[in-house]
Amino acid sequence: MNFYKLLILIIATIGLSTAKAEQFGEPVDNASLLKISTIMAAPDTFLDQQVTIEGTVVGVCAKRGCWMTIASDKRFENLQIKVNDGDMVFPMTAKGSKAMATGKLNKIQLNLSRTKALLAHRAQQAGNEFDENTVTKPMAIYQLVPTGVEILE
């Protein structure tokens, strides 16, 4: 095998290995599994404990793979899992797959202008009308910061 064939083989092997990503970080803890709807019903009560969620991956950060959106068991509800760039890189092809993630819930308190911007963006994504004058109070958003993620087929 000459040098160029070997180089192509190495690149192809690395490429194929990146295309099939399943386990990220530490193993998922099945014992702490909770429904996303349970967590989102009272998120502040889960801030200091380790939780595991599961659901369908419905969105993935396209450029850095640094977040995934997991659909809740409740319609039109979801929870985002977020890592620092490079800590875990979630593949876009995970969309539609089942995923489990173990970690801690992080609360991000928004000010009023950021709340309006976020709700406007969500309304645009959902194809709904939005009047920012109807928003009078700032809101908080919640993300799961995972220590381990498993993407299941």
Partner 1 sequence: MGLVIIFAVSGIAVNHKDDWNPNYRVEQVVTSISAQNWSLDNDTELANQVLAISKIDEKVKTSYWASPTQFKLFFKNGNNLLLNLKDQQLIYEKIAPRHVFQAFNRLHLNETKASWVIFSDAFAALLIFLALSGLFMIKGRHSPWGIKSLWVISGIALPAVYIFM
Give the footprint of partner 1 on this chain (CB under 8 A). Answer: 7, 11-12, 14-16, 18-19, 56, 58, 62-65, 71, 75-76, 85-86, 89, 91-93, 95-97, 125-128
Least spacing, CB of residue 44 vs partner 1, in Å:
26
Using the minimum distance from each CB to partner 1, give the nearer residue, 42 or 96: 96
Least spacing, CB of residue 49 vs partner 1, in Å:
28
Least spacing, CB of residue 16 vs partner 1, in Å:
7
The number of angstroms, rounded, from the C-alpha of 87 to the middle of its chain's C-alpha atoms is 13
Using the minimum distance from each CB to partner 1, give the nearer residue, 15 or 136: 15
